[in-house]
Amino acid sequence: MIAVLGVGPGLGLSIASRFGREGFTTALVSRTATRHDAYRGALPGITTHTYTADVTDEAQLRDVLVRITADAGEIDAVYFGPADATAGPGITPLPEAGPDDLRAPFEAFLLPAANLVKSVLPGMIERGSGTLLFAGGLSGKHPMPMLGTLAPASAALRMYVLTLHAALREKGVYAGTLTIGGLIERGDIHRVFTSQDHGFTPGTLNPDDIADQAWSLHVERDEAEAEFNAMAAV
């Protein structure tokens, strides 16, 4: 069973579809239930459970993981897609940022990831198997000034996952990161971004292609990172 935390119509749903086609039961978690019927309808033939929770809230995250396990059994894999910039703390240019501006993305991205690992990793280690997949931003690997305060948090999340990968290598548990630079087609960020004039147009990425690579990471378990770069300037 795979738990998809922070599911949306783009990458999260593609991850659920890709793993579901391989026989995984899917548990989809989002902030509201508004699109849950549509998500289940987009996954024909796949056993799917849907849940409402704010995964940036530690208590809600812990509670929803308990509910998922009660409904669908032990969690074999998790995918964590951090809250996007349109719904989270937003972007402040680094030259204008103070400590609180930098703290907010860490609380939206890194700390929930650590809370997730704290909840599911002990069981995975006890069973000697499991997969932890995270979506991160290219600004965590390459300087991208237009992403301002998101960059330090992206870098921290990336290094957190890479270090987890190294630490868990002998324990049967895999950790990997999808480092994404570009707008993901069908996703909420893509919809919001393309509805406004930002003065530049980043390239787009097909979420199904990213999900295919996520499946390969899960199966092959050797590489800790897959990069998807549609940013011509990087």
Provide the 8-state DSSP code for 182. S
Domain span including residue 194: 2-229
Write the pLDDT tens digit of every residue in 113-131: 999 999 999 999 999 999 9
pLDDT grade, residue 196 (50/70/90)? low
Give the CATH number of the domain where residue 8 resides.
3.40.50.720
The DSSP code sequence of 123-172 is HHHHHT-EEEEEEEEGGGTS--GGGTTHHHHHHHHHHHHHHHHHHHGGGT
Q: Which residues contact 232 (CB under 8 A, 6 or more apart)?
A: 203
Indicate if the pLDDT at residue 178 is higher than 50. Answer: yes
Give residue 158's Cα distance to chain centre.
11
Query: What does the pLDDT average to over 206-226?
Result: 97
C-alpha–C-alpha distance, residues 174 and 93, integer Å: 35
Enter the tokens of residue 221: 């378990």
CB atoms near residue 208 (< 10 Å) = 16
Query: What does the pLDDT average to over 13-37?
Result: 96
Q: Is residue 234 part of a domain?
A: no
Beta bridge partners of 181: 229
C-alpha–C-alpha distance, residues 151 and 74, integer Å: 34
> What percent of the chain clears pLDDT 70, i.e. is strictly above it?
88
Instruction: Say which residue, 4 or 196, is predicted with more confidence.
Output: 4
Q: Which residues contact 195 (CB under 8 A, 6 or more apart)?
A: none
At residue 231, what are phi and psi to the nearest 5 degrees? -95, 110
Q: What is the pLDDT of residue 86?
A: 43
Instruction: Say which residue, 44 or 109, is predicted with more confidence.
Output: 44
- Could you give the number of structural domains in the chain? 1
Q: Distance from first CA to last CA of the chain, Å, rounded? A: 36
Q: What is the pLDDT of residue 188?
A: 53
Q: Is residue 91 part of a domain?
A: yes
